[in-house]
Structure 1
Amino acid sequence: MNKFLSAVVLILIDVISIFISIFMAVSLRKILNLFFDVPVIDYSYLLFVSVYITFIFILGYFGVYTKRFDFWHETRLVVKSSFLSFAILLAGLMLGQNSGYYSRSTLVLIFLLTAIIIPISKLFVKRFLFGIGLWKDTAKVITDNENFKAALFEDYYLGYVKSSDSKHNTLFIDSVNLNKDTLNKIIEDNIRNSREIIFTPVLNGYDFSQANIYNMFNSRTNVFTLENKLLSKLNKIIKAAIDYMLVVCSIFFWGPVLILIAFWLKREEPKGDILFKQRRLGINGKEFFCYKFRTMHSDQSFMPKWLENHPEEKAYYEIYHKYMHDPRITKVGEFLRKTSLDELPQLLNVLRGEMSLIGPRPYMVIEKKDIGRKAPLVLAVKPGITGLWQVSGRSDIGFNERVEMDVWYMKNWSLWNDIVILLKTISTVLGRGGAR
């Protein structure tokens, strides 16, 4: 019953979100009418039933109302539904020779706004439904991975709660450390009593949500196809074009900030350099100078004595490649690091074609030996100003784990993943949680 009621509520909320999107789109067009000579747009679009029906139907087809997805995966489905609904609706209007009655730019605005408003509304609605117990589903997890278990039960958006007894609707199986026979036995023992069984792939490190799955009926075999999207020249061009477009179009925002910070650094230490330049490993291991604002004292002659008095810091550096309490950092530098503004000059590296906005961290030259056999994968793409490590929510990630994150990024690159990382970076910076 709860499943049915929550689906009804989510559909109604999406209808309201579409209504708000149409209202805002028409209002924006009316504002444009004050400055440009464009046809008058009225609020009759609010009664354009085809928009509601098409959008809700496609969302339902993608399982948004019947399945429980992670926020970012569901948002991708909403964005996909938005563009698909627009294409279907526009094609229908053209075939019916009614396209002249509707403003194409208004329709574009409607579907762009729905792609933003619907995911935001779902965040609040699912929190409310979870709080009143309507968006809850009992689950059991078979795993030795506590992080995997925590990710399931701590996310209200998924809505899973631990079953208090043997009864549960959903069974999760972490298959990473299980052999085929053991996994098959667990599924067969539980398939009669579990409404839904969800298990992770035995092969780890790949995003199978982007894979195509085919059923070869005669042999009763499923085959997966994985695509290295960064080998596509078109994808490389699109990624580079987005980098340049975002950096150039935002220069009026970051340019003045760059100048103000430069003056601030000169005021604190007049004889010190403004920029810190360091050789880093770029694409295919090609070295380049990575720019940052200087965040440390120019004179670091005190460091050998400090390390001698703090052996725990030296041990920490060997694991994480940074110090817990770095005495070299200036007061200005501490602020710049906390807000991630110290990395702002790397936008110049993006313009020079040496870095990307999103990508693996730019490794130091001496770290190449530490990357080991994973180096060809990590260095197969341009390093990024931000990446998976920076938005992971953890500052105590070891060097080897960072490398694994960068390998995952390279193997599973998609434009959508870049968008998610960029949005999470903005959220992290605004929350003053920048990576150190």
Structure 2
Amino acid sequence: MILCGTDYLTLVAAMWSAFYMRELIILSLFPRLLSYPLPNYFYYVTPLIFMGFLFYERIYARRLPFWKNIELVFKVCSYSVALIIGVFFVTGIMKDMSRILIALIWVTSFAYLVVTQYALKRLLLYCGLWQKPVVIVGAGKTAELLVKAFEADPGMGYKVAGVIEDHYQERPLAHQYPLWGNFSNIEEAVMRSGVRDVMVAAPGLEREQLLDLVYRIQPHVSNLILVPNLFGIPMANLEAETMANQQALLLRIKNNLARTYNRLFKYTFDIIATILGGLAVLPVMGVTAILIYIDSPGPVFFAHRRVGAKGERFLCYKFRTMVVDAGEKLEQYLEQNPDAAAEWRKDFKLKDDPRITRMGKWLRQTSLDELPQIINVLKGEMSLVGPRPIVEKEIEKYGETIHDYYLVRPGITGYWQVNGRNDVDYETRVQMDSWYVRNWSLWLDMVILMKTFNVVFRKEGAY
């Protein structure tokens, strides 16, 4: 109820802010536009439309990860504004309504809801009011991954109240949290814990054992959640179906990027966002080019042949971050340093690369060296978000997953860049590229773009 009431007040504030933003900013730039008072229904009826979609998406009934919650808020705001526009057209109100005001309502409602929901959940957590106790059945690797997920996203509000495990001596997790019992006395253990939500994270059990546990636990709890060992599989586009007669569960996994219209949609988004963003970064690129030349006279740009979609080769543009004779210097350095040669063969990167200039080191730390790749995006050779562009020698390291790589254009940023960057090994990097392709959605691209700003600012894994 606290979240619901706060969201309603937040939406009223968003309507008010949108109106005064138009009055103070837009009208100061375009004084000929007419000013009018905001109708009262914007303070009462319009927020209720947003609230209806929030309830429809069950935002108050589910514990959602941070980015999933933002995705649903994004959808709610989009659906609500679309419905408001439709109602205004049907009722004839739209002819007297400011289009700028409608756009500002979408912006303010989305921004305000995201910020207030996050802040309120943090406040409730601090006060101990947003914690939902759960008992985990099983204390193996799957349970450990589950606990790490709760710790990484405390906004979900799950608090581990204890575990139930047979082999507790061998399980570190069983020594970290209260041990309520084992599988043989699981009914008594659940009732003794007093917790109404149980998660079964024991994928090693045989089917009959798992069914036995489910049937024994379910009568004593409000919610029973099964956690299968499916970590890493494509899940963003996963749909569950049931076959009641056969008592079977079907999981449908869609590969969005295998569909032509989705690739076209992604390309359209890339072009529009690159044109808008490119205008903003042109002054930065100009200043950067001058500084590069001052630091190390020679070509400002560097073009390197990379592998793109469908295996096609293209020239990938970057600001030059190395000395002009980088190739010769690398050969000499690897010959004289066996450890560096082994590092190069493993990852095709050197943490202490002697070829990098002073300006180049700063450019790599801030990722500004990749700004010229917007030219590749406009040429249709790269995407804003995608796998890291590789060289031909790296193809063999991808193995069978190279077919995933060929399915999409490589990106200026990507899933690897915002999840460890150079701090992860090459095998994990390949898995991340494959995971991104198999889980692609427009929202995933937007999340990666938002995370990129944070990673670049903090210089995580950059060298």
- Give me the TM-score of the superposition, normalised by structure 2: 0.83
Q: What residue number does 1:85 align with?
A: 80
Q: What residue number does 1:360 align with?
A: 387
Maintained 8 Å contact 1:50/1:89: no
Provide the secondary structure at the position in 2 that maps to 1:257.
Answer: helix
CA gap 1:148/1:309 in 2 versus in 1, 3 angstroms: farther
Aligned equivalents of 2:67, 2:413: Cα separation in 1? 18
Q: 1:32 aligns with which of 8, 19, 26?
A: 26
TM superposition shift of 1:85 = 1.9
Q: 1:298 aligns with which of 318, 324, 339?
A: 324
Q: What residue number does 1:157 align with?
A: 155
Maintained 8 Å contact 1:82/1:111: yes
CA gap 1:85/1:372 in 2 versus in 1, 3 angstroms: same
Q: What residue number does 2:460 align with?
A: 433
Aligned equivalents of 1:435, 1:178: Cα separation in 2? 42
Q: What residue number does 1:191 align with?
A: 218
TM superposition shift of 1:279 = 1.4
Q: What residue number does 1:107 align with?
A: 102
For 1:329-373, what per-residue CA distance to the aligned partner results, in whole angstroms no more than 9, with x for missing partners? 221111001100111111111111110001111111100011111
Paired residue type of 1:55: F
Q: What residue number does 1:287 align with?
A: 313
Q: What residue number does 1:419 align with?
A: 446
TM superposition shift of 1:424 = 0.7
Q: What residue number does 1:60 align with?
A: 55
When structure 1 is superposed on structure 2, of 133-142 and 334-343 the one drifting more is 133-142
When structure 1 is superposed on structure 2, of 426-435 and 370-379 the one drifting more is 426-435
TM superposition shift of 1:282 = 0.3
Q: What residue number does 1:214 align with?
A: 241
For 1:124-163, what per-residue CA distance to the aligned partner results, in whole angstroms no more than 9, with x for missing partners? 2211111111111223444405444312123221122221
Maintained 8 Å contact 1:153/1:159: no
CA gap 1:37/1:91 in 2 versus in 1, 3 angstroms: same
Q: What residue number does 1:3 align with?
A: none
For 1:346-403, what per-residue CA distance to the aligned partner results, in whole angstroms no more than 9, with x for missing partners? 1111111110001111111100011111111111110001100001145321112111
Paired residue type of 1:324: K
Aligned equivalents of 2:429, 2:212: Cα separation in 1? 35
Q: 1:137 aligns with which of 129, 132, 154?
A: 132
Maintained 8 Å contact 1:358/1:387: yes
The answer as to 2:402 corresponding to 1:409 is no
TM superposition shift of 1:95 = 4.7
Maintained 8 Å contact 1:390/1:435: no
CA gap 1:409/1:202 in 2 versus in 1, 3 angstroms: same
Maintained 8 Å contact 2:307/2:389: yes
Aligned equivalents of 2:255, 2:290: Cα separation in 1? 44
Q: 1:73 aligns with which of 68, 75, 79?
A: 68
Maintained 8 Å contact 1:139/1:170: yes
CA gap 1:399/1:173 in 2 versus in 1, 3 angstroms: farther
TM superposition shift of 1:297 = 2.4
Maintained 8 Å contact 2:134/2:198: yes
Aligned equivalents of 2:440, 2:116: Cα separation in 1? 28
Aligned equivalents of 2:372, 2:204: Cα separation in 1? 44
The answer as to 2:19 corresponding to 1:21 is no
1:256-275 residue pairs with structure 2 within 5 A?
Answer: 256-270=283-297, 272-275=298-301
Aligned equivalents of 1:178, 1:70: Cα separation in 2? 27
TM superposition shift of 1:258 = 1.7
CA gap 1:136/1:299 in 2 versus in 1, 3 angstroms: same
Q: Any gaps of 5 or more consecutive residues in structure 1?
A: 1-7
TM superposition shift of 1:97 = 5.2
Maintained 8 Å contact 2:421/2:460: no
TM superposition shift of 1:55 = 1.4
Aligned equivalents of 1:108, 1:264: Cα separation in 2? 40
Aligned equivalents of 1:426, 1:238: Cα separation in 2? 23
Aligned equivalents of 1:393, 1:387: Cα separation in 2? 11
Aligned equivalents of 1:350, 1:140: Cα separation in 2? 49
Aligned equivalents of 1:294, 1:176: Cα separation in 2? 50
The CA RMSD over aligned residues, in Å, is 2.7
TM superposition shift of 1:418 = 0.7
Q: Any gaps of 5 or more consecutive residues in structure 2?
A: 162-176, 181-192
When structure 1 is superposed on structure 2, of 251-260 and 331-340 the one drifting more is 251-260
For 1:5-28, what per-residue CA distance to the aligned partner results, in whole angstroms no more than 9, with x for missing partners? xxx221122122212211121113
Aligned equivalents of 1:223, 1:125: Cα separation in 2? 37
Aligned equivalents of 2:343, 2:198: Cα separation in 1? 39
Aligned equivalents of 1:90, 1:378: Cα separation in 2? 41
CA gap 1:222/1:91 in 2 versus in 1, 3 angstroms: farther
